[in-house]
Amino acid sequence: MKSLQELLLALIIVAFATTTHLIQAQPDPKEFINLDCGLHPAASPYTEPLTTLTYTSDANFTQGGKSGRVQKVWEEAYKPYTVLRYFPDGIRNCYDLQVTSGKKYLIKALFLYGNYDGLNSGPIFDMYLGPNIWTTVDLKISILSRKEEIIHIAKSSSLQICLVKTGKTTPIISALELRPLRDDTYITTNGSLKLVKRYYASDLFGPSIRYPSDIYDREWKPVSLSFGFNFVNTSLNVNSSSPYELPQEVISKAVINKNVTETLSFDWYVNNREDQAFIYLHFAEIQTLRENDTREFDIIWKENDRNITNAAYRPPKLQLETLYNTSPMKCRFMQCTVELVKTKSSTLPPMVNAIETYQIIEFPDAETNPEDVAAVQNIRATYELSKIDWQGDPCVPRLFKWEGINCSYTNASIPPRIISLDLSSSGLHGAITPSIQNLTQLQELDLSNNNLSGGVPEFLANMESLLIINLGWNSLTGSIPQALRDREKKGLKLVVQGNPNLCLSDSCKNKKILVPVLASVVSVTAVIALLALIIILRKRKHLSKAATRELPRKSSIFAKKKKFTYSEVVELTENFKRVLGEGGFGVVYHGSLSDTEPVAVKVLSESSVQGYKEFKAEVELLLRVHHINLVSLVGYCDEGGHLALIYEYMANGDLKQHLSGESSGPTLKWASRLKIAIEAAQGLEYLHVGCEPPMVHRDVKSTNILLDDRFEAKLADFGLSRSFAVGAETQVATVVAGTPGYLDPEYYLTNWLNEKSDVYSFGIVLLEIITNRAVIELTREKAHIAEWVKILISRGDIEKIVDPNLAGDYDSNTVWRILELAMSCVSHSSSDRPTMSKVVNILKECLISEKSRTGQIHQDDGDSKNSDLTINFGTEVTPIAR
């Protein structure tokens, strides 16, 4: 019994307040950052009367946004937050705050909509901490105000807090506050701590307590408890000289049960079953105990499948003591519960003075290499660049990568490096800045079409990674350094044309003669170029008229793949002998390049006008994408009105055939279905984040997931695919296309396309994999598969959801997790859907779990990363006990 108790006690650190504590200096309010967002610089700084803290304008901390003011009805209740900053331009707008690397900070952000725009509709947007998402701010729900708070360790000397537009509404912020904390408080190695609740023992009429009473400016709210509890307090001084240093107004009060035998219980909720939680319990015995009185109780944390107990705890007399769990724990059915249970030897009920609850937020993506960041920020400052998207981290997340910058990515934990910088046509003036040489991994540099002056710097020759330098069409002078000439001989590509005063020869002795000659040559060249442009424009106009009469033909997009003649297509299909399938594009035939190389030949129907656009789109995409989980293009035919695409042959048909029983093979086992889902998801993930520019498939469905002779899945049919610009101000506006049932409802209603539309379609495929039911089935309670599954989830009946052909051969925990994943993918709002990268990670975890269950797991299965997926079933639908 003693060893068990010691084991349980080891799970909880007790922070004793003793004289042996290392004394850390109290925080200096001058180290606080207090930004009143939207405040005019002329009104800054000012002293806020309640806290006595000095607030300043945020104008020097962000480069975008406009100032707004809440309506008068809101002003009196929410002083001093009567102004705000809103960001109508750009996708990502960031605050750049100077901090101490490795220092722990309490970060608070306040949002008060206050109907500043007269629309009576609060915005919804995301907030990022560096390259990682912190939270989604929904002011449609929190119409009054909302505060987000997190405890976070700065990874570098610059902390970037970014507001990201996720729809059509405009992000806003009212205040931003940072407070340094002691290093020996709120310890976690798993991530940052997002505040859920912070309460002290007082009834609902008690005041909120913050600075200066709390030297760290933690805000304490009065606890909300039901009938049956008493509040007690003391006028004596409570020693709070512990790392947590609670205010006297907090630690001198406590809550206890009226009934001595009752349990004191605290509940709070997390977003989904995978979330991990921390609780900090602050104790001090503030009542005078009689000689025979004892206050002793067990502290029980109810985890998913076990209870963790700190047994026989006695609060120290008039001395602050803090207990917390050393490792994060998962909550049972998303409800976290901690109970204080009176022991048999105790004569007094349990008590607690204050509680804090937190949720772990993992920030997996590393920030860009700090030296690269400093270099590119210096370049921005030198040339006074005002690019709207040059905010936040330059490389991550990839969706918001700075325009003109390309980066190398190893994995999420390794800082990306800048390998390409394109500042062409950016209005640069002055000399080429030495800051460029600090981009030590730079491979390509383009400074063309600017007004740069001075000489070509020799430091460019010392940048060993550089492969291409374009300095053309500037006003550079002097000669090219010999070291650069030597690098040219070793393969460096140097472009310097268009600099009339730059000496291009080995010797510049005849420079005075050379310049007029060059000027004359340039003048003649300009005239010739102008005449050529006129001829080309006339020719294009003529061609465009011709294009309205017939389909366009030969294009450079076909240059890299083998071109087949129509007679060759007829021969390899044996005169179109065997039909494999048929769609809107045309008919797909079986073919053979040789006796050992079968192919599939998609032939465009002559009546399909739209088909040529799809034909061209598919070829353009498949020419530049190469992935094991995408069907490969072997060649094409474009001859005399005959259009055909030749693909690798997928011997086992499509996923739909194997789910529905159309194929002659056995029922797909659960592990096989997971493997197919992973491979299809990996193909989509590549389109979304591996392509340049990224692609949206637009027609993800089970019939477009094909299986080869080894049952490896590959995504097919890219005729509707569209590219989307990373970091663009808006999503892609396009005519709605796709397959009913799989079509993203948000895309259908708005015509705004992004990669989350594919995520929705893939979620429908996951539901097919789980249920083996039709996507649209008019005879059931809800025709659409997602709505039908929602009803069954609310009843907790997994047997009616899962394909009966699986005959129970699956782990219900894994099925529930995939079901939760599928439902998050089909959320009505794209902002609530996970990325395909998160989908892939979760599917891999589930496959490993399934293989472990069946004894098939191998060492080469690899480790999958933890995910921080947020599941949103809506208010009325939540998975219950299995």
pLDDT, tens digit, 9 for 90 and up, residues 167-226: 889 999 999 999 999 999 998 777 899 999 999 988 767 789 999 999 999 999 987 655
Question: What pLDDT, on the 0 to 100 scale, is given for residue 228?
Answer: 62
- Could you list the residue range(s) of the whole structural domain that residue 542 is in? 509-549
Most confident of 299-308, 503-512, 654-663, 668-677: 668-677
User: Is residue 186 situated within a structural domain?
Assistant: no
Is there a single domain that holds both residue 477 and residue 560? no
Say what the pLDDT of residue 684 is: 93
Q: At what angle do helices 756-771 and 812-825 cross, to 10 degrees?
A: 150
Of 684-693, 760-769, 824-833, the poorest mean pLDDT is in: 684-693
Would you state the pLDDT for residue 400?
A: 87
Flag whether 602 is marked binding.
Answer: yes
pLDDT, average across residues 841-864: 69
State mean pLDDT over 871-878: 28
* Whether 864 and 878 share a structural domain: yes
CB atoms within 10 A of CB 869: 21
Average pLDDT, the chain: 81
| Helices and strands counted in the chain (H then E) | 15, 49
pLDDT confidence of residue 694: 82
Q: Which of 649, 667, 689 is the last residue of a domain?
A: 649
The conformation of residue 869, written as its DSSP 8-state character, comes to P
Mean pLDDT on 398-414: 88
Give me the helices (H) in 625-775, please: 655-660, 670-685, 745-750, 756-771
Which of these three, 625, 649, 673, is where a domain ends? 649
549 pLDDT higher than 60: no
pLDDT at 587: 86
Q: Is the pLDDT of residue 260 over 60?
A: yes
From edge to edge, which strands make up the β-sheet containing 429-430?
Answer: 429-430, 451-454, 475-476
**Amino acid in the structure at residue 230:** N
Flag whether 378 is in a domain.
Answer: yes
Catalytic entry in 217, 275, 699, 832? 699
Tell me 270's DSSP state.
-
Looking at per-residue pLDDT, the higher value among 308 and 214 belongs to 214
pLDDT given for residue 813 in this prediction: 82
CATH code of the domain in which 466 resides: 3.80.10.10
Residue 635 host element (H or E): strand 633-639
Residue 188 is assigned to a structural domain of this protein: no
Q: How confident is the model at residue 144 (pLDDT cuts 50, 70, 90)?
A: low
d(CA 599, CA 573): 9
pLDDT, one tens digit per residue, over 345-400 is 999 999 999 999 999 998 988 999 999 999 999 999 999 998 888 999 999 988 88
Say if CB 243 and CB 294 are below 8 A apart: no
The token duo for 653 is 């048909």
Contact 209, 249 (CB under 8 A): yes
Give me 630's structure tokens. Answer: 């995408």
Angle of helix 836-854 versus helix 812-825 axis, rounded to 10: 170
d(CA 714, CA 681): 9
Domain boundary among 361, 396, 416: 361
Tally of domains in the chain: 6
Shared domain for 332 and 399, answered yes or no, is no
Provide mean pLDDT across the span 63-91: 87
- List CB contacts of 770: < 8 A, sequence separation 6 or more: 801, 802, 803, 815, 818, 819, 822
Q: What is the CATH number of the domain that holds 878?
A: 1.10.510.10
Q: Which two tokens stand for residue 401?
A: 């990568």
Same domain for 852 and 717?
yes
Q: What does each C-alpha distance from 232 to 241, 257, 290, 639, 843 come to in angstroms?
A: 21, 11, 16, 90, 51
Residue 730: pLDDT band with limits 50, 70, 90: very low
Residue 793 inside a domain? The answer is yes
331 or 452, which is more confident: 452
Q: What is the per-residue pLDDT for 2?
A: 38
Q: Does the residue 515 lie in any domain? A: yes
Q: How confident is the model at residue 613 (pLDDT cuts 50, 70, 90)?
A: low
Amino acid 821 reads L
pLDDT in tens, 451-498: 999 999 999 999 999 999 999 999 999 999 999 999 988 888 999 988
Q: Which two tokens stand for residue 805?
A: 């052909």
Note the pLDDT of residue 749: 77
797 in the same domain as 741: yes
Answer whether 382's CB lies under 8 Å from 331's CB: no
Lowest-confidence segment of 188-202, 494-508, 553-567 by average pLDDT: 553-567
pLDDT band at 337 (very low <50, low <70, confident <90, very high): confident
- Beta strand 46-47 with 192-200: parallel, antiparallel or unpaired? unpaired
pLDDT at 811 (0 to 100): 85
Q: Which residues, at least 6 apart from 699, have a Cβ–Cβ distance to it below 8 Å?
A: 717, 719, 720, 721, 737, 738, 739, 742, 761
Q: Are residues 800 and 710 both part of a single domain? A: yes
Q: How far is CA 754 from the centre of its chain?
A: 14
> What percent of the chain is helix, strand and coil (3-state, nearest 5)?
25, 30, 45
Query: 510 pLDDT band (50/70/90 cuts)?
Result: very low
| Pair 730, 872 in one domain | yes
Do 609 and 545 belong together in one domain? no
pLDDT at 509 over 70: no
Q: Note whether 246 and 292 are within 8 A (CB).
A: no
Same domain membership, residue 630 and residue 540: no
The per-residue b/e assignment along 475-504, b for 16 or more CB within 10 angstroms, e otherwise, is: ebeebbbeebeebeeeebebebeebbebbe
Catalytic annotation present for 699: yes
pLDDT for residue 533: 55
Same domain, 203 and 308: yes
User: What three-state secondary structure class fits 704?
Assistant: helix
Dihedral (Cα; 324, 328, 334, 340), 10-degree rounding: -20
Amino acid at 142: S
Between residues 736 and 104, which one has the greater pLDDT?
104
809 part of a folded domain:
yes
Greater pLDDT, 584 or 98? 98
- Using the 8-state DSSP alphabet, how is residue 319 labeled? B
Q: At 797, give phi and psi (nearest 5°).
A: -100, 90
State percent of the chain over pLDDT 70: 81
Q: Are 623 and 653 in contact (CB under 8 A)?
A: no
Distance CA 324, CA 305 (A): 19
Q: Give the CB-side neighbour count of residue 149, counting CA atoms within 13 A.
A: 16
CATH number for position 170: 2.60.120.430
Burial class (CB in 10 A: 0-12, 13-18, 19+), 786: buried
Do 105 and 137 share a domain, yes or no? yes
Q: pLDDT at position 611, please?
A: 58
* Alpha-carbon gap, residue 178 to 105, rounded angstroms: 6
Residue pair 41/58 in contact (Cβ under 8 Å)? The answer is no
* Residue 577: CATH number of its domain: 3.30.200.20
Residue 563 lies in a domain: yes
Q: What pLDDT was estimated at residue 518?
A: 45
Report d(CA 758, CA 752) in Å as an integer: 13
Q: Kindly state the average pLDDT of the residues 594-609.
A: 74
CATH of the domain at 319: 2.60.120
**Could you read off the pLDDT of 814-849 as tens digits, one per residue?**
898 899 999 999 998 888 899 999 999 899 989 988
The set of residues, in sequence order, having a beta carbon less than 8 Å from that of 313 and lying 6+ positions away, is 283, 296, 297, 298, 299, 323
Residue 38 lies in a domain: yes
Of the given ranges (71-75, 321-325, 583-587, 744-748), which has the lowest mean pLDDT?
A: 583-587
Q: Are residues 514 and 490 in the same domain?
A: no
Task: Give the per-residue pLDDT at 851.
Answer: 84
**CA 882 – CA 867 distance, rounded (Å):** 23
Tens digit of each residue's pLDDT (9 = 90 or more) over 262-271? 788 888 887 7
> Lowest mean pLDDT: which of 299-308, 780-789, 861-870?
861-870
pLDDT at 818: 93
pTM, whole model, 2 decimals?
0.57
